[in-house]
Copies of this chain bind each other. A is one copy, B any other.
Amino acid sequence: MQITILLYPDFETLDVFGPVEIFGKVPDWRIQYYSQNGGLICNQDNISISTENFASIPQNIDTLFIPGGPGTRSLIQQTDFIQQLKSLAQKSKYVLTVCTGSALLAKTELLDGRKATSNKRVFDWVKTSSAKTKWIEKARWITDGKYYTSSGISAGMDMALAFVQNRTDKNTAEKIATRIEYHWQQDSQQDAFCSNNQLN
């Protein structure tokens, strides 16, 4: 299994590296980092990480992974990026998003008619990305066909473990959670942060 991670300036740190911690513990799963033009990608936590460009992405994508973050605000308006994202998602076996990454994916129209979720703090903004997506506010994560979308930031880790469970088995996912000393919330419909829409 190859995990193809898409990065962009001002991606959210834990959206990426929570799931990466988990995927990296599955035998034979490999992780690669890409951005539109390649090179070093920086974010608000002063991280500067090496990426290859979109042209380097292999034709057959196992799993496409799209994080959220402050950078989505401008990225969602870049038609060329959204078109490239659509093309990549269409040829991916699975597509996973964390937080506002689902807004980017919804903008491609590939979530039209499908259920999806996102960060609770900015849910109203996310919904503007696509009126045809069936947005579910109360969910830790949502699976609809090949698409997995998760709520804010930390929720990506619970989704990642569920994805590992679905591709391998529950025992493998539980062993990873124990190994990384993480309390895995296994119920996707339990969402303690749903009614919380504070703005700070």
Contacts and interface: CB of A to CB of B under 8 A. Distances in A.
Interface in A85-107: none
Interface residues of A, number: 43
- Which of A30, A154, A181 has the most chain B CB within a 10 Å cutoff? A181
A113 to B, nearest CB: 26
A109 to B, nearest CB: 27
A45 B32 contact: no
A24 B45 contact: yes
Interface string A12-24: 1110111011011
A54 interface: no
B14 A33 contact: no
B31 A45 contact: yes
Given A13-B20, A17-B18, A181-B193, 12 more contacts: A13-B24, A16-B17, A18-B18, A24-B46, A33-B47, A120-B181, A121-B179, A151-B181, A154-B180, A154-B181, A183-B183, A183-B192
The 10 closest A-B pairs by CB, nearest first: A17-B17, A14-B21, A48-B50, A152-B181, A24-B45, A154-B182, A153-B180, A181-B193, A13-B21, A31-B46
27 contacts: A12-B21, A13-B20, A14-B18, A14-B20, A14-B21, A16-B17, A17-B17, A17-B18, A20-B47, A21-B153, A24-B45, A33-B48, A40-B50, A48-B49, A49-B49, A121-B179, A152-B181, A153-B179, A153-B181, A153-B182, A154-B180, A154-B181, A155-B181, A175-B198, A175-B200, A183-B183, A183-B185
